[in-house]
Structure 1
Amino acid sequence: MNVRTLCLSILYEGESTGYEIRRQCVDGECSYFIEASFGSIYPALAKLEDDGLVTSRTEVQSGKPAKKIYSITDAGREAFAQELSMPLGEDMFRSPFLLFARFAHILPREVVEARANEFLQQRIDKLRHIEEATSKPICNASDTWVINYGRAMMELAERHMRSHMHELITLARADSDRDAAE
């Protein structure tokens, strides 16, 4: 999957501006799919428009700059379905927390404990967000499936942290150990 496909997926559901597409990629339902920056979204939208897969119109706003609103075309819907039919690449998982955890042994115990608790709280907050999403009307069974998958992943991460956080904290160096070595 790429940013072009992500843009088509959002436009498949309805009209959107580049800013709204970015917001969906950062905070919205598409934040779990792939990363997309403004620097990649706008060129993708321009190329999609050049290829006739989306159209745009400019909407004048009172006291604000005009905004460009994109819509998917029938050809765009077909191209999106074709893209989804292609073999999928490997899921990519990146976690700054896992880099932190890998080097927990060089950090003070208080820092590791604080970051581990923050990570646990983020998982709890994400689960709460997922639960809030399920309380809203869901468009279709596919949405429900995706939400349930996300819930399962967050629940697993939360359980693992609750069960094994003490092991990570134990790996950290105690400040007194460092002081004794000096």
Structure 2
Amino acid sequence: MSIAAIGFALPNGCRITHGTGANVKTPFKTIPLTMHELYPGGTLTTPSTQRGQLGFIPFTHELRLPRHVHVTMAERDEDRRLLAERILVTGGVGLVELNGEIYVIPHGCLVDIPEGVPHTWSACPPGVAMPDGTTSTGQFLMVYDYAEPTSFFPVEGTHTLNSMADYVRYDGKLADICFPTLTAEQVKTKSAFVWNDSLIGPGQGPH
């Protein structure tokens, strides 16, 4: 697998990546998603802590991802495996759907998604109050970190896949499996709020 040239190396072996030095990707034709891949995975450098791609995506509440899982980038179908990922939400409030359930994810929250869990993301619309009195602005910054180099596999169902044998590729319109458009009031009634070490159930969030 070829590794894209990202960032620049210093003589001491350090690597710095910023702006157009990143691998900037727009993977969808009809969804205005821009990925700023800061590390492509693989073997740019060899520390054992470096695994799959790492980067960030600016989100607004108009940007709604299709439901998907992540899979290794093996060339042969029989060699592909489901992958885990980590998402850090910062600079705003996100919405994530995990197994069909919607959660409000505040600034500074890390979400670990195990292998095979169908998920999708959007930003929380403006005007949703959080438990500390702050209010969502309709945007956030996603920092993503994949377990290994991976690609996007769309899926219609919401049940966890145990292996690639359970995967049925979705070939319909991606718009039909995108995160649903929600108003601030619908977020309050349909979502569980994540706060500290607990969940505030649907309909019980701040008003």
Give the TM-score taking structure 2 as reference length.
0.26
Which has the larger Rg? Answer: 1
Compare the two structures and name the one with the higher helix fraction: 1
Normalising by structure 1, what TM-score? Answer: 0.29
Structure whose residues are more often strand by fraction: 2
